[in-house]
Chain A
Amino acid sequence: MQKEAAIREPLILGDKSYKDITDDVVGPIEGPAPIGWKIMITISSIVAVYGVGSILYLLGTGIGVWGLNKTVGWAWDITNFVWWVGIGHAGTLISAVLLLFRQKWRMAINRSAEAMTIFAVIMAAIFPGIHMGRIWVSYWVLPLPNQFGSLWVNFNSPLLWDVFAISTYFSVSLVFWYIGLIPDFATIRDRMTKPLSKKIYGLLSFGWSGRAKHWNRFEEVSLVLAGIATPLVFSVHSIVSMDFATSIVPGWHTTIFPPYFVSGAVFSGFAMVQTLLLIMRKGMKLENYIHVKHVEYMNIVIIVTGSIVGVAYLTELFISWYSGVEYESYAFINRFSGPYSWAYWIMMTCNVISPQLFWFKKIRRSLIATFVLSIVVNIGMWFERYVIIVTSVHRDYDPSSWGEFHPTSVDVGVFIGTLGIFFTLFLGFARFFPVLALNELKTILKSSGENFKKKQANH
C-alpha cells in the first residue's frame, strides 16, 4: 500500500468506506431527477434547438448569412472552433498528463473533465464543418481515390494536419474515457434493480467482472494511453496554431504560436472545468470528493498557464516592434488602438490581470471567487481568439481592401446554440454516468482519505 505524508491535505473528506464512495456517486443516478437539473436541461435544450435551427438555416442558405465578407473570411466561426478546441484540452491533460505525474487529485475530476473534453471537441468540429458551406462534400478532406485525377489532399497544409489532429484527438479521448468507464458501469449494473436500467448498464459495461488479470491489463492500457495522449494534447493545439502561424498574414505569422496556444488552451480548459464542477459538486452533493483543495490545485494551474499566456502577449508586442517589419508592427498597434481595441483590452484584462488574483490564498480557496473568475477567463479566451483572427485579417497589406466584421444573428445563434448543445450533453452525462472515477477513487481512499489519515496519525 502506498503511504502519503500526514501533513498533506486529504483528498477524500469525511469518514468514507468503499461502500460509501459507491453510494455517493451512484446514488444520484438511481434517484429521481432533481428539480434543478430539470430546469437546467430544459433551458439548455431550448438553446440547443435554437442552435440546430440556426445551423440548418445556415446550411440551407449558405455562409453568406454570416457576417463574413471578402476581407474578413474567418471570424466567429473559427473563433468558436479554436475556443471549443481549447476548452477540450483540459480533460485529456488532467487524465493523461496528471496520471503520468502521479497526481492523485486528478481522480476526483478526470471523469467529468474528459466528458467535457469530448463534448467540447464535438462542438469544435461543428465549426470547420459548417464553415465549408457545402458540408455534404466534407469527405473531400480525406485522401480518398476520386474522379478528379486522382487529385489528392495536400499533406503540406496545416489545415489538413488539423483534420488528422482533431479526429485523432477526439477518437483517442473517447476511447480513453470509455476504457475508464467500463468498470464503473459494471458497478452500476450490479446495483441496479430495475430490469431495463440493469440491461442498459450491462450492455455499457461490456460484461466487466473485475478479474485480477483484467485489472492488470486495465492499468497498463491506462498508462500507455496516457503516455501517447500526452504528446497528442500538445500536438493538437500546436497544429491548430499552425493554421495561422504558417500563413503570411501579419499578426499570425509568429513562431511562438504553438506553445502560446497550448498554454492558452489549458488555461481556458481548466476555467471551464471549474465552472462546470463547482455547479456539479453542489448539485450532486460531491463536496467530500471535490473540495477546496482540488479547486485550489486547479487554480494554481490557471495561474501558471495564465501567466504563460500573458508573457506570450507581451512577447508578441515586443517582437513586432523589434523585428522592424512595419506590417507586423502595424498589426499589433492596430490591435490595441484600432477599431477592435475594445476586444483587445477585454482580452488583456480577463486573461492577464484576472488570473493573477489567484496569487492570494483567500481568493484561490474561495469557491465563489473561483466561479466568477473562471467565467471571466472563458470570456477572455474567447476574445483572445477573436482578436487574433479578426484584427489580423481586417487590415492586411492592401489598404484598399480593409474592412470590418459585424456579426449577424446567425453568427450569434450558432455560437449560443453550441453552448446549449454542450450543456445538454454535459447535463445528460451528469445524470446517467458515474461522474467520478469510482475504481480510481477507491484505490486512493486508504492513502488520501481523511479517516485513514487520522488513523495513521494516531499510530
Chain B
Amino acid sequence: MYDDDDKLMEAASALVAKGIRVKDVFSPFPVHGIDPIIGVKRTRLGIVAFMFATTGTTLALLGMWYFMISDWPMNIGGKPSFSLIENLPAFIPVTFEFSVLCGAHGMAITYLLRNGTLPGMPATNPDPRTTDDKFVIEITTEQNALSAAEMETAIKETQLFELSIKDYE
C-alpha cells in the first residue's frame, strides 16, 4: 500500500523491472500512466459505442422508412412521403437522437457488465482506504516465478506505506 500516486508509479515500475507480475492496482482516482506499466491494455469500449450507435442509426432509418414510407405514407402540407431519400432531411434529427441513445446506453451497459459493477455487487477492494487516499498494488505468488521472500524484499525497497501479506488457501 502506498500513500501517494507518484510513489505508486515508481514502485510499480521498479517491481515490474524486477520481473514481478502485478495482479492489480487499486486507487481512489485514475492514475494516469499506470496502465502500460502494469500491462493493462487500452479498452475497446470506444468500438462498442460505435457499433451500438450504428445499430441505432440503422434501426431509426429502417423504422422511419417503414412507418412513413412503406406502411402508411401521408401527404403532409403538400409534401408527400414517397421515398426515403426525398424525406431524409426531415428524418435526420430523430436518426441522430436515436443513434446517440443507443450508443450511450449500449456503451454504459457494456461498461457496467464488463466491470462487474452492478447493483448489489459486493465491493472487492482489499482495503476501504483505497477509495479515499491510499493506493494498493496487489501481487500474488501464483502469478510469479519469484518466491514470496524475494518479492517481499523487492517490495520493501520501494517507498512503502504499508505491506500486508495474506494467505489464501
Check A161 against B93 for contact (C-beta < 8 Å).
Answer: yes
Shortest CB distance B85–A (Å): 14
Whether A205 sits at the interface, judged by CB under 8 Å, is: yes
A172 touches B100 (CB 8 A): yes
**Residue pair B29, A440 in contact (C-beta under 8 Å):** yes
Tell me whether A224 and B107 are in contact (CB under 8 A): yes
Interface code A114-158, partner B: CB below 8 Å = 1, 0 otherwise?
000000000000000000000000000001000001111111111
Q: 6 shortest A-B CB distances, which residue pairs? A: A207-B121, A18-B133, A190-B128, A152-B67, A209-B125, A215-B30
A38 to B: closest C-beta gap in Å:
29
Q: How many residues of A contact B (CB 8 A)?
A: 69
B45 proximal to A (CB < 8 A): yes
- Asked if A314 lies at the interface with its beta carbon under 8 angstroms from chain B, I say no
How many residue pairs at the A-B interface have CB separations less than 8 Å? 203
Asked if residues A216 and B40 are in contact (CB atoms below 8 Å), the reply is: yes
A152 touches B46 (CB 8 A): no
A220 and B28 in contact (CB under 8 A), knowing A168-B97, A190-B131, A203-B119? Answer: no
Count of chain B residues near A, Cβ 8 A: 67
Task: Please pick, from A154, A160, A175, the residue contacting B108 in the complex, using a CB distance under 8 A.
Answer: A175
Q: Which of A187, A189, A209, A440 contacts B124 (CB 8 A)?
A: A209
CB contact under 8 A between A190 and B125, given known A17-B133, A154-B76: yes
Question: In the complex where A187-B131, A217-B111 touch, is A155 in contact with B100 (Cβ < 8 A)?
Answer: no
In the complex, chain A residues 226-241 whose Cβ is within 8 Å of any chain B Cβ: 228-229, 231-232, 235, 239
> B6-37 interface mask toward A, CB cutoff 8 Å, 1 = contact, 0 = none?
10000000000000000011111111111100
Q: B123 to A208, Cβ gap below 8 A?
A: yes
B window 64-90: CB within 8 A of A: 64, 67-68, 71-72, 74, 76, 79, 81, 87, 90
Residues of B within 8 A of A176 (CB): 104
The residues of B with any CB-CB pair to A shorter than 8 Å are: 5-6, 24-35, 38, 40, 42-43, 45-46, 49, 53, 63-64, 67-68, 71-72, 74, 76, 79, 81, 87, 90-91, 93-94, 96-98, 100-101, 103-105, 107-108, 111-112, 114-125, 128-133
Q: List 25 A-B contacts (CB under 8 A).
A: A18-B28, A22-B133, A150-B71, A155-B91, A155-B94, A157-B76, A167-B101, A168-B97, A172-B100, A186-B125, A202-B122, A206-B117, A207-B118, A209-B130, A212-B34, A216-B42, A217-B45, A217-B111, A225-B104, A232-B100, A235-B93, A235-B96, A242-B93, A439-B28, A443-B32
CB distance from B13 to the nearest CB of A (A): 14
Grouping DSSP codes into helix (H, G, I), strand (E, B) and loop, the B interface class, with mixed when no group exceeds half, is helix
Q: Does A15 contact B (CB under 8 A)?
A: no
Task: Name the contact of B119 in the complex, choosing from A153, A161, A187, A206 (C-beta under 8 A).
Answer: A206
* B121: nearest chain-A partner, CB-CB: A207
Please, which residue of chain A has its CB at the minimum distance from the CB of B42?
A216
Closest to A164 in B: B97
Residue of B nearest to A158 (CB): B93
Which residues 7-49 in A have Cβ within 8 Å of B in the complex?
17-19, 22
User: Is B49's CB under 8 angstroms from A224's CB?
Assistant: yes
* A262 CB–B CB distance under 8 Å: no
Q: What is the bound-complex CA distance between A191 and B125, given in angstroms?
A: 13
Q: Hey, which chain B residues are within 8 Å of A220, CB to CB?
A: 42-43, 45-46
A171 within 8 A of B: yes
A232 to B98, CA, bound (A): 11
**Which chain B residues border A215 with CB–CB below 8 Å?**
27, 29-31
Query: For the complex, what is the distance from the CA of A19 to the CA of B25, rounded to whole Å?
Result: 19
Q: Is A221 an interface residue (CB 8 A)?
A: yes
Query: Contact check: which of B76, B96, B117 meets A182 at CB < 8 Å?
Result: B117
Return the chain A residue nearest B108 by Cβ: A175
**A443/B68 in contact, CB under 8 A:** no
Q: Are B72 and A149 in contact (CB under 8 A)?
A: yes
Residues of chain A within 8 A (CB-CB) of B122 are: 202, 207
User: Is the Cβ of B35 less than 8 Å from the Cβ of A190?
Assistant: no
Contact A171 B105 (CB under 8 A): yes
Q: Is the CB of A156 within 8 A of B79?
A: yes
Is A165 interfacial (CB 8 A cutoff)?
yes
